Amino acid sequence: MNEYKYSELMLDEYLEDVWKCIRCGFCNSVCPTSNTSFSYMSSKTSRGRIILLQAYFSGILRKPLRDRELQELLDYCFGCRRCLEVCPPGVRIPYMLWRAKHIGRRHNLLNKLIYSNYGSFEKLCSNFPSLSNNILRSRFGKILLELLVGIDRRIDFPEFHDVSLEKWIRMNRSSTSGKRLAYFIDVFTNYHEVGLGIEVVRLVEKLGYSVEVPDQREAGTLLLEAGMMDKAIKVAKENVESLYKYIMNGASILTSSPAAYIALKYDYPEILGDSKSKLVSEKTLDIIELLIKEYEDGEIRFNEKNSGRIIYHHSCFTKASGLTKHIKRLLTLAGYNLIEVEECCGIGGVWGMSKKHYNDSLDVGSNLFIKLRSLSSPVASQSETCRIQIRNNAKVRVEHPFSYISKAIELK
Amino acid sequence: MNGYFNKVSGKDVEFYEKLLGSKNLSISEEELVTNSIDAYPGMFYKPEIVLWPETSEQVSSILRYSYDRLIPVYLRGGGTGLTGTVPIYGGVLINLVKMNKILTVYEEDMQVVVQPGIVYNTLNKELEKYDLFFPPDPSSGSVCTIGGMVASNASGLKAVKYGTTKDYVLGLEVVLPDGKIVKLGSRTFKYSTGFDLLKMMVGSQGTLGVFTEITLRLKHLPEYIETGVAFFPSIERAVKTVYQIIRNGIDVAAIEFIDEQMIKVVSEFKKLQLPESKAMLLIEAHGTEASVSETMKRCVRIMKDNEAVEIRVAKDIEEREKLWAARKGAYPATLRLGKYMIISDVVVPISKLLDAVLNSYEIGRKYGIEVQVIGHFGDGNLHVHWTSRDDKEKIGLLHQANEMLAKWVIEVGGSVSGEHGIGVEKKKFMKIQHGEAYKMMLDVKRLLDPRCILSPGIIFDLEEVVH
Ligand SMILES: Cc1cc2nc3c(=O)[nH]c(=O)nc-3n(C[C@H](O)[C@H](O)[C@H](O)COP(=O)(O)OP(=O)(O)OC[C@H]3O[C@@H](n4cnc5c(N)ncnc54)[C@H](O)[C@@H]3O)c2cc1C
Ligand code: SF4
Ligand code: SF4
């Protein structure tokens, strides 16, 4: 099969999207990587990436799609989905680019191994938390991580907890009756932000829910970003199968991470397109949505004790998830005076953590860091990777919005 | 005239590199390709090199050198042009996005001096601090540059109240094709000092010179704004409403027409849940709270007289912004309806608006293609979308239909372009649009650019400029 035919096949239904683009450039205006010190170059913008595909499929760009330089340019899309909101013809830009990147994926064996078994890898490390943390904190460990996995050595990761959230829930679950929630925790919360997960579980249990932890793998966003489409589909299928069983037994799916929410709500139905993933999507609700529902049903109210300023950072995934208005409403009900910042932090999941793109990610995030430092108030940001980037580079306190909101909640 | 121009050689690249530094030029295939097409559904025309100058002097040196070497030079700002102003003859592409600074704000005089590469919305965001704004408001405002707007005499949604770009350009620093730098205009609103060369430059689409500094007059931000939508049982009723609002001198800031199919398109794009109807008008008023309320009241009366089935007023800024975002994305969103589309940009005297709309549908029927109409009806500007769902064979028919409408428009005293310009796309109409005056335009082009190195093939065929 010739290279064009192969690429056409790989892009599948997204090939239509390539031609839907009229090059208006609206996506450039919101795309974080198209508003940097390097995006004066058209090829390093969102519209530029689509033009490259149009040129390739019209035979103008005479290079194979897996060409290294070309792939590096496509890789400047880190999948934040801000463009989906503004693209008038509805070009599904990140989904299309994941396919295009799949054609040119070029990971070494170790990278591939770690990316596709990221969840198991984290699990392994969490079995030896102090050893893992010592390695992660040490210069040697950081260099090793950079050499082996390509994670930039300048990044400080949150530590592994002594016990994973999954284990904690199994040991400490206080209620087995009531409305059922199957918690799709995702890897990061499970091993690094256990405290947040515990707060979530305690609150929903008080509200009369019972929380279960289904078998689950990582959400798989990382695999999509890395162009490992086949692996992403496999992981999505496994997760859907597992969650589907819980739904059949009357449970709803709970998330607290926007990456997990987006995967279940939008990505899985998009990449699998089957009825099970659509049902999982319908039955997924984020803790933020749950709180809104409980508030509207009169089950919770907010005490007046909180005041003070909070900076609400619009993480890309929260914007794309449609949860923003609920978070803002809850923070306001909780008594905080909100200052909103729209700028992207530049992390883009694992994209900005890589050695290759860490400097780019600082470039993207530079305006945000300056702003946050000058405002010097606590920050609320829903995305876990945004919190890492903000903590590391703006040096300010940053928490999941739930942590601020839950402090003000009073049960009826 | 193949072979008229010289190709960019290794020596030329060296010259440009020495002038600009290696970061400010590219010959990478990917960069050339992404600068080879704009938003016009035309072909790719690759430049041989892309340059990013940062000063007027650098632009001048590039032009002087290219002029002597007979290398064609094209210009690009936001690349949102809709008429195909791309490097037909290859050569150098000057991308102006690095010249994007606000040089001076004369707050008391309500003026600003900018470099050409600043994006329209970025400028207005900055001007908010002074309670000022640059009003034309093209739908592409989040991407297009001030240089591109001046070169296209762009306008947009608020032209009915505020006019077009040319009404705001007070001064220009222009680098001429041979590299000379001239300053045109003045910092005063009026002057009577000979030929108005400044206005001649506005709308010249990169064929007469490169604008490197632009002085704009500004307006105060309106104190109060209200936006409303009305839905009509027929196109006739909607157009009649527009006519009566304008004829009665009601001070609307915008009055946009959207037809039945386009209501569905914009509604789907921004998830607006607009009701089905034959036509919709989107109206905005600016002023004091009292004046805006009076304006809206008068509009509503006329709408009701014309049997508007539903009238809604945006309840907050969020809703207003959503409505405008939907309208601004209407043209590209049309691709939700079909794969192939071209857009016309005709303007007619407002008494001819209804005929123009009905005629467009009639032409569509004649050619067996789909037609959608939207437009800035307050100033008689129609955007007719000629579309074909998936039949590539029909592209020729789309162009024929477009041509038929354009000729009719000229016959009734209108213009083939209200705001997008001529570019490559509408060259064929220039002679019928202008008659003898077209030759005067050619003479001006020959006088300023006798070797035709600046944007050859745009507005004029190269063969007509150089024999
Ligand atoms: C979705 C969409 C909506 C649009 N809506 C509108 C609208 O409402 N109203 C409207 O008027 N237009 C509209 N347009 C057309 C287009 O956006 C305008 O013509 C705009 O002014 C072009 O600006 P640009 O910076 O993108 O210019 P470009 O496309 O980069 O260039 C356009 C022309 O300007 C010339 N040029 C650029 N910079 C300079 C300079 N510094 N000196 C001299 N010449 C220069 C170029 O040579 C070229 O001929 C729309 C386009 C799109 C895609
Ligand atoms: S917003 Fe959509 S149509 Fe416009 S350039 Fe981007 S992908 Fe293309
Ligand atoms: S998904 Fe994000 S990074 Fe990718 S093109 Fe869209 S806005 Fe840019």
Exposed e or buried b for every residue in A61-71, given b needs 16+ CB within 10 A? bebbbbbeebb
Nearest bound ligand to the CA of residue A360: 3
Q: Which residues of B touch A58 (CB under 8 A)?
A: 44
Q: What is the pLDDT of residue B38?
A: 97
**B39 and B86 in a common domain:** yes
Nearest bound ligand to the CA of residue B121: 1
Q: Residue B158 — pLDDT band, cuts 50, 70, 90?
A: very high
**B310 and B404 in a common domain:** no
Nearest bound ligand to the CA of residue A35: 3
Interface of B with A (CB under 8 A): 26, 28-31, 33-39, 41, 44, 46, 50, 52, 78-80, 95, 97-98, 119, 121, 140, 142-143, 269, 325, 329-336, 339, 341
Q: Residue B129 belongs to a domain with what CATH number?
A: 3.30.465.10
Residue whose C-alpha is closest to residue B467's, from B453, B448, B451: B451
Q: What is the pLDDT of residue A112?
A: 73
pLDDT(A350) > 90 = no
**A96 and A57 in a common domain:** yes
Check B333 against A89: CB less than 8 A apart.
Answer: yes
Rounded to the nearest angstrom, the distance between the alpha carbon of A29 and the centre of ligand 3 is 10
Rounded to the nearest angstrom, the distance between the alpha carbon of A77 and the centre of ligand 2 is 14
Ligand 1 contacts CB of residue B330 (under 6 A): no
pLDDT digits (tens, 9 = 90+) for B247-275: 999 999 999 999 999 999 999 999 999 99
pLDDT(A106) > 80 = no
> Is A181's Cβ below 8 Å from some Cβ in B?
no
Question: Average pLDDT for residues A172-187, to the nearest whole number?
Answer: 86
Q: Nearest 5°: phi and psi at A54?
A: -60, -40
> Is A52's Cβ below 8 Å from some Cβ in B?
yes
Last residue of a domain, one of A51, A70, A104: A104
Q: What is the pLDDT of residue A157?
A: 85
Q: What is the pLDDT of residue A116?
A: 76
Q: Residue B77 belongs to a domain with what CATH number?
A: 3.30.43.10
CA distance B262 to B370: 12
In a domain, residue B295? The reply is yes
Closest residue in A to B76 (Cα–Cα) = A42
Q: What is the pLDDT of residue B187?
A: 93
Question: Average pLDDT for residues A271-276, to the nearest whole number?
Answer: 93
In a domain, residue B461? The reply is no
Considering CB atoms only, which of A24, A41, A52 is closest to B332? A24
In a domain, residue A154? The reply is no
**B56 and B27 in a common domain:** yes
**A194 and A117 in a common domain:** no
In a domain, residue A157? The reply is no
Considering CB atoms only, which of B30, B38, B339 is closest to A19? B339
**A402 and A334 in a common domain:** yes
Q: Residue B288 belongs to a domain with what CATH number?
A: 3.30.70.2190
Question: Average pLDDT for residues B82-92, to the nearest whole number?
Answer: 97
pLDDT(A1) > 90 = no
Q: What percent of chain B has pLDDT over 90?
A: 95
Q: What is the pLDDT of residue B419?
A: 95
In a domain, residue A160? The reply is no
**A375 and A271 in a common domain:** no
Which residue's CA is minimally distant from atom 16 of ligand 1?
Answer: B81
> Is A13's Cβ below 8 Å from some Cβ in B?
no
Q: Which residues of B touch A63 (CB under 8 A)?
A: 29
Question: Average pLDDT for residues A274-278, to the nearest whole number?
Answer: 95
**B317 and B358 in a common domain:** no
In chain B, what is the straight-line distance between the N-terminal and C-terminal CA atoms, in Å? 10
Question: Average pLDDT for residues B80-109, to the nearest whole number?
Answer: 97
**B197 and B229 in a common domain:** no
**A335 and A270 in a common domain:** no
Considering CB atoms only, which of B31, B52, B332 is closest to A22? B332
In a domain, residue B165? The reply is yes
In a domain, residue A228? The reply is yes
Q: What is the pLDDT of residue A107?
A: 65
Q: Which residues of A touch B121 (CB under 8 A)?
A: 29
Q: What is the pLDDT of residue A128?
A: 87
Ligand 1 contacts CB of residue B152 (under 6 A): yes
**B272 and B207 in a common domain:** no
Which of B337-346, B363-372, B436-445 is least confident? B337-346
Residue A174 CB coordination number (10 Å): 10
In a domain, residue A366? The reply is yes
> Is A324's Cβ below 8 Å from some Cβ in B?
no
**Of residues A102 and A85, which shows the higher confidence score?**
A85
Ligand 1 contacts CB of residue B77 (under 6 A): yes
Q: Cβ(B96)–Cβ(B117) under 8 Å?
A: yes
Q: Could you identify the residue written with the tokens 């897996």?
A: A66
3-state secondary structure of B416: coil
CA distance B185 to A196: 63
**A169 and A281 in a common domain:** yes
Q: What is the pLDDT of residue A251?
A: 95
Amino acid symbol at A70: L
Q: Which residues of B touch A54 (CB under 8 A)?
A: 37
Which residue's CA is minimally distant from atom 3 of ligand 3?
Answer: A77
Q: Cβ(A179)–Cβ(A211) under 8 Å?
A: no
**B107 and B209 in a common domain:** yes
In a domain, residue B298? The reply is yes
Interface with A, mutate which of B27, B29, B30 (most A CBs under 10 A):
B30
**A75 and A141 in a common domain:** no
**B216 and B240 in a common domain:** no
Q: Cβ(A50)–Cβ(A90) under 8 Å?
A: no
Rounded to the nearest angstrom, the distance between the alpha carbon of B106 and the centre of ligand 3 is 37
Check A55 against B143: CB less than 8 A apart.
Answer: no
Q: What is the pLDDT of residue A175?
A: 67
**Checking DSSP bridges between strand B224-232 and strand B279-287, what pairing results, if any?**
antiparallel
Which residue's CA is minimally distant from atom 2 of ligand 3?
Answer: A80
The Cα of A152 is separated from the nearest Cα of chain B by a number of Å equal to: 25
- What is chain A's Cα-based Rg? 21
Ligand 2 contacts CB of residue A23 (under 6 A): yes
Which residue's CA is minimally distant from atom 6 of ligand 3?
Answer: A83
Ligand 1 contacts CB of residue B286 (under 6 A): no
What single-letter DSSP state applies at residue B436?
T
pLDDT digits (tens, 9 = 90+) for B40-79: 998 999 999 999 999 999 999 999 999 999 999 999 999 9
Q: Residue A21 — pLDDT band, cuts 50, 70, 90?
A: very high
**B86 and B47 in a common domain:** yes
Check A24 against B31: CB less than 8 A apart.
Answer: no
Check B80 against A25: CB less than 8 A apart.
Answer: yes
Which residue's CA is minimally distant from atom 6 of ligand 2?
Answer: A27
Q: Cβ(A329)–Cβ(A356) under 8 Å?
A: no
Domain that holds residue A23: 3-104
In a domain, residue B163? The reply is yes
Q: Residue B404 belongs to a domain with what CATH number?
A: 3.30.70.2740
- Structural domain count of chain B: 4
Closest residue in B to A55 (Cα–Cα) = B33
Domain that holds residue B247: 224-331
Q: What is the pLDDT of residue A306?
A: 67
**B239 and B284 in a common domain:** yes
Q: Residue A307 — pLDDT band, cuts 50, 70, 90?
A: confident
**A307 and A279 in a common domain:** no
- Structural domain count of chain A: 4
Query: Would you state the structure tokens that stand for residue B56, as one six-digit string?
Result: 């007027």
In a domain, residue B432? The reply is no
In a domain, residue A159? The reply is no
**A274 and A195 in a common domain:** yes
**B29 and B118 in a common domain:** no
CA distance A193 to A6: 42
> Is A26's Cβ below 8 Å from some Cβ in B?
yes
Residue whose C-alpha is closest to residue A238's, from A124, A111, A119: A119
Q: Residue A124 — pLDDT band, cuts 50, 70, 90?
A: confident
In a domain, residue B86? The reply is yes
Calculate the average pLDDT of chain A. 91
Last residue of a domain, one of A292, A319, A336: A292
Q: Residue A57 belongs to a domain with what CATH number?
A: 1.10.1060
Q: Which residues of B touch A16 (CB under 8 A)?
A: 339
CA distance A300 to B115: 55
Calculate the average pLDDT of chain B. 96
Last residue of a domain, one of B196, B220, B244: B220
Check B34 against A51: CB less than 8 A apart.
Answer: yes
Question: Average pLDDT for residues A388-404, to the nearest whole number?
Answer: 95
Question: Average pLDDT for residues A291-309, to the nearest whole number?
Answer: 88
Q: What percent of chain A has pLDDT over 90?
A: 70
Exposed e or buried b for every residue in B274-290, given b needs 16+ CB within 10 A? beebbbbbbbbbbbeee
Q: Residue B453 — pLDDT band, cuts 50, 70, 90?
A: very high
The Cα of B437 is separated from the nearest Cα of chain A by a number of Å equal to: 33
Q: Spell out where B107-223 has E strands.
A: 111-114, 132-133, 169-175, 181-185, 210-217, 219-220
Q: Cβ(B319)–Cβ(B226) under 8 Å?
A: no
In a domain, residue B437? The reply is no
Q: Residue A339 belongs to a domain with what CATH number?
A: 3.40.50
Q: Which residues of A touch B98 (CB under 8 A)?
A: 40
Check A55 against B33: CB less than 8 A apart.
Answer: yes
**A302 and A266 in a common domain:** no
Last residue of a domain, one of A266, A292, A318: A292
**A208 and A120 in a common domain:** no
Sequence length of chain A is: 412
Q: Which strand ranges, in their side-by-side order, compose the sheet holding B73-76?
A: B25-26, B49-51, B92-95, B73-76
Q: What is the pLDDT of residue A110?
A: 67
The Cα of B33 is separated from the nearest Cα of chain A by a number of Å equal to: 7
Rounded to the nearest angstrom, the distance between the alpha carbon of A405 and the centre of ligand 1 is 46
Q: Nearest 5°: phi and psi at B40?
A: -80, 135
CA distance B258 to B373: 6
**B149 and B77 in a common domain:** no
**A367 and A348 in a common domain:** yes
